[in-house]
Amino acid sequence: MNHKKTILLVEDEQETLQAMLKALIKRRPELYKPLIAIDGYEALDFMINKEIDLVVLDLHMSNFNGLELCQHVAKDEDLRKIPILISSGFADDSMQEQLRMLGVEHFLRKPYKIEDLISKIDELMMCPA
């Protein structure tokens, strides 16, 4: 039996989070198991203590934001292996460059269609659509 990929959704905007969650559960229930974190601290805890296959990360959050999380992850050899997809309306070119230097290569600029998110996740997890 093929095990489901665990997708960590890091988003503090309730509406966006609900849409992402609903889409993953509805469209890919056999492929993905979503987990939710509302800030970078919670996300880091999950990344350290659970087997995470992909992080979908909003940059703009209170507390420990997306950039701070990426900076922390970049310093940890094990955590660096987990792919991160930045899902943000705030990732301008200089921010993207900063994130690339931290090893983050995948970006989805808000607003986007939920289908775009699902297909990007499928692509990163190498799952057939």
Give domain status of residue 103, yes or no.
yes
The total number of structural domains that make up the chain: 1
Give domain status of residue 85, yes or no.
yes
126 — alpha (psi -120 to 50), left (phi > 0) or beta? left
Give domain status of residue 59, yes or no.
yes
Which CATH number is 62's domain given?
Answer: 3.40.50.2300
Whole-number pLDDT of residue 128: 56
Give domain status of residue 56, yes or no.
yes
pLDDT for 8-32, tens place per residue?
Answer: 999 988 999 999 999 999 999 999 9
Cα(78)–Cα(15) distance, integer angstroms = 31
pTM over 0.85: yes
pLDDT for 48-94, tens place per residue?
Answer: 999 999 999 999 888 889 999 999 999 999 999 999 999 988 768 88
Give domain status of residue 21, yes or no.
no
Roughly what angle, to the nearest 10 degrees, separates helices 40-49 and 66-74? 30
Domain extent, residue 66, equals 28-121
Give domain status of residue 105, yes or no.
yes
State the pLDDT confidence band at 1, using cuts at 50, 70 and 90: very low
